[in-house]
Amino acid sequence: MSAPEMSSSGTPADNGVNVQALLDARKALAEAPEAAKFQWRAQCEWLEGTQSRSTVEGFFGLGEEQKHKSVFTFDADHPEVFASEDRGATPVEIVLAALASCLTAGIASVAQLRNIQLRSVTATVEGGMDIQGILGMDSDVRNGFDGIKVTYTIDADATPDEIKAIVAQSQKRSAVFDALTNPTNVTVEVN
C-alpha cells in the first residue's frame, strides 16, 4: 500500500475502512507468516433442476477456525431462456458480482489509505460468453468468459487521475481479479 496523501479538503476522509487495522495486521503477519494462511469455504446443496443453495459460514485464518457472525446463503439457478426456473442468479453472474465486490472493497480501502473521501462508487460488470462453449458445440469456444469489462462511476474528493489510480491499485491487490486473470489449480474429487 502506498503512502497517505492529503485530501483536497484538508479534513480526514472517512470511507468506513479501518486501514490502521490492516497496516497493523501486515506488521503482525510479517512476524508470523503462517497466520496469513487462510482457507475460504462454501457448501453447496442441489435443490432441484439447475437450482442449488450455497452456504458460507466458517473459514480458517490466523491459525484457527473462524466463523462469520451469521450464516450467508445464496441460491443459484439458470434462466428461462435456458429452459430453467430462474430461482436465482446464474453462477457466472455471481462471479461477476464477486469481481465487482472485491474491486469495490479495494477501492474503498485504497481511498481510505490515501485519505480520499468517496461519495459514491458504482460498478457495472459485463461478461461476454459464447454459449456454444458450455453447450459443447464447438471445441474452439471456451466455456468461460471471452472477456470481462468493469465500468466504474465514482464521485470522490479527488482528481480524475487520483481516482483512476485508486481503481488501478484495487485491481493490483484484488483476489477475485487475480483468480479470473491468472490460472488457479482446481481439484474436484468425489467421496
Partner 1 sequence: MSRCLADRSIDHVVLERGEVANSWKNERWDSLRLLTPNWQSRLPGYGYEGDDPDGFRTMPETIDFIERYADVISAPVRTNTSVTSVRTVDGGYSVATTQGDWRCRTVVIASGACAIASVPAVAEGVPSSIKTFTPMDYRNPDQLEAGGVLVVGASASGTQIASEIHRSGRPVTLSLGEHIRVPRVYRDRDIEWWMDAAGVLDEFYTEVDNLDRVRNVPSLQLAGSDDRRTVDLNSLTDIGVKLIGRFAGINDGKAQFSGSLRNLCEMADLKMNRLLDLIDEWETENPCDGGASPPHRFEPTRVEESPPLGMDLNSGEIQTIVWATGFRPDHSWLDVAVFDRKGRLRHDGGVVEAAGIYLMGIPFLRRRKSSLIDGAADDARDLSDHLAAYLDGAATER
Number of residues forming the site for partner 1 (CB under 8 A): 19
Distance CA 13, CA 17 (A): 10
Q: What is the per-residue burial (b if ≥16 Cβ within 10 Å, else e) of 43-58?
A: eeeeeeebbbbbeeee
Name the residue with cell 479495494. Answer: 106
* Residue 182 in contact with partner 1, rule: CB under 8 A: yes
* Residue 187 in contact with partner 1, rule: CB under 8 A: no
Please state, in angstroms and as integers, the Cα–Cα distance from residue 177 to each residue in 69, 95, 166, 186, following that order: 26, 10, 15, 16
Q: How many other CB atoms are there within 10 angstroms of residue 40's CB atom?
A: 10
Among 15, 50, 109, 169, binds partner 1 (CB under 8 A): 169
* Residue 175 in contact with partner 1, rule: CB under 8 A: no
Among 6, 28, 44, 168, binds partner 1 (CB under 8 A): 168
Give min distance, CB of 59 to partner 1, in A. Answer: 26
Interacting residues toward partner 1 by CB under 8 A: 1-3, 33, 146-147, 161, 164-165, 168-169, 171-172, 177-178, 180-183
